[in-house]
Amino acid sequence: MKMLINVPETVVADALRGMAAAHPELTVDVENRVVLRRDAPVAGKVALVSGGGSGHEPLHGGFVGPGMLDAACPGEVFTSPVPDQMVRAATGVDSGEGVLFIVKNYTGDVLNFDMAAELAEEEGVRVAKVLVDDDVAVTDSTFTAGRRGTGATLFVEKIAGAAAQAGAPLDRVEALARQVNASSRSFGVALSPCSTPAKGGPTFELPEGELELGVGIHGEPGRERRAMMTAGEIADVALDAVLEDLNPKNPVLLLVNGMGATPLLELYGFHAEVQRVLTERGVSVARALVGNYVTSLDMAGASVTLCQTDEELLRLWDEPVRTPGLRWGL
């Protein structure tokens, strides 16, 4: 498996150096592996910190900036960052208004963010935490107790980020983040496995002519394998799974997310099928986002995330944001 890298050992550090050079509006601490808003801490503002294993870019470092995260902690590929990184991020961005940790539900991340919260509080930082667990495909998988955290992370970071930017206090930002997570569900499919630099090849096998329904963002097994399906059939299965668990009465935010190697041309075509199914089910789409946002290295495939909105969530979604990976109005 060929990769555009130097050696597997320096992949994350190399990427952070490249990120620093591309984004002067960020402070990228390559040695300590923390990405921060250059203007952090922002006086009077609750700060948002997230992080997780690398390999899902632009998540999370690419979502640091005004209107979204204050800092992100990248771990090794598909490996949780360590508590030291999270404490450094928290103390680096806390203005005194407190910090919200946004944690995808994987065992390592949960343990490490828990420990970091204790350590940061010992240093005088008020910390709240929200767990993202939107993936309906499986519970209690390889890396997770309960449901996995995937695409809804983007919705949580954007909407809680907008509330924090507007001056909401920590308990309100936390409550909104919980509401967004509780209102969101995701389902993903893989057409090909992903390859990690450390392994130098695919992390799982997926025979030609089959796809994995309900795959996780590290290539974790999903619900089942089937013979290859059309984009329309995949949209039906994905939304069956999502809508079995979420019955949106209000218009939804829709994320049609590429896993990494699926061309945008295919992703837009898949989005058309997702819209068809939602129309058939009577689900109204308030806003749609199509692209590669929560990726799995070079995996081919896509995921669908819905978030039931209300007036406030929609208003916060529309607020300006300026990050490398998501930007409008600034």
Residues that are catalytic: 56, 218
CA angle 117, 123, 126 (to 5 degrees): 55
* In contact, 97 and 128? CB cutoff 8 Å: no
Distance (Å, whole) CA 323 – CA 114: 27
Distance (Å, whole) CA 153 – CA 289: 14
**Residue number, 267 or 316, with CB nearest to a second copy:** 267
**Residue number, 12 or 110, with CB nearest to a second copy:** 12
Distance (Å, whole) CA 18 – CA 23: 9
Q: Which of 233, 186, 243 is nearest to 211 (CA)?
A: 233
Distance (Å, whole) CA 73 – CA 34: 5
Q: Which of 92, 163, 208 is nearest to 314 (CA)?
A: 163
Q: Residue 192 is which amino acid?
A: S
8-state DSSP, 194: -
Least gap, CB of 214 to a second copy (angstroms): 16
* In contact, 106 and 143? CB cutoff 8 Å: yes
8-state DSSP, 69: B
Q: How many CB atoms lie within 10 A of CB 120?
A: 25
**Residue number, 121 or 318, with CB nearest to a second copy:** 318
Tokens of 254: 């829709």
Least gap, CB of 208 to a second copy (angstroms): 7
Strands (E), 106-207: 127-132, 135-139, 147-148, 184-190, 195-196, 201-202
**Residue number, 132 or 300, with CB nearest to a second copy:** 300
Instruction: Classify each residue of 21-33 as buried b or exposed e, where b means 16 or more C-beta atoms within 10 Å of its C-beta.
Output: eebeebbbbbeeb
**Residue number, 5 or 111, with CB nearest to a second copy:** 5
The contact set with a second copy (CB under 8 A) reads 2-7, 10-12, 14-19, 21-22, 54-55, 57-58, 62, 77, 191-192, 208-209, 211, 228, 230-232, 234, 256, 260-273, 275, 285, 288-290, 292, 295, 297-298, 300-302, 322, 327-330
**Residue number, 128 or 267, with CB nearest to a second copy:** 267
